[in-house]
Structure 1
């Protein structure tokens, strides 16, 4: 097996992980930033105020992006298993 093939597989897997995590975490970060701006504007220093909106947005993102995330991961592993004979020999 060629080392370049292994590096390509690692690169594809790492890219897939970064895209999947970003798709879930970016909305949560945006909501956290908006709540922080709200807290700074109103001078409310409640630490638990940011938890619920970020939690709700994260759950909402997982619910709506879940089928796409699962399909992407399944396609990657399906292609990986199909390519096993080529990778070995």
Structure 2
């Protein structure tokens, strides 16, 4: 296995992890910004007001994109396992 192959596998793993994490993280970011803006405008500083919408939003994002996430992960894992013979043969 060469250095280039190791770097390529690492880049693919990083790319798939970013793709899988993006829906939940973007949902939390957008909802956090909206709630923060609402709290600034109304001057309501309640901790649960910022936590509950983000938790619900992340749960909904997982429900909506969970199937896609699972498909992406299994596809990546299958491709990685299929490439093992070629990696070891070099």
Q: Same fold (TM over 0.5)?
A: yes
Q: What's the counterpart of residue 52 of structure 1?
A: 52
TM-score, with length taken from structure 1: 0.96
Q: Distance in 2 between matches of 1:16 and 1:9?
A: 11
* 1:56-84 deviation per Cα after TM superposition (whole angstroms, max 9, x unaligned): 00000001100100000000000011111
Q: What's the counterpart of residue 3 of structure 2?
A: 3
* 1:27-58 deviation per Cα after TM superposition (whole angstroms, max 9, x unaligned): 11101110110010011111111111000000
**Residue 36 (str. 1) matches residue 43 (str. 2):** no
What RMSD, in angstroms, separates the aligned Cα atoms of the two structures? 0.7
Q: What's the counterpart of residue 73 of structure 2?
A: 73
TM-score, with length taken from structure 2: 0.95
Q: List, as ranges, runs of 4+ consecutive aligned residues in structure 1 with deviation greater than 3 Å.
A: none
SS in 1 for 2:45: coil
- Between Structure 1 and Structure 2, how many residues are aligned? 89
Unpaired stretches in structure 2, ≥5 consecutive residues? none
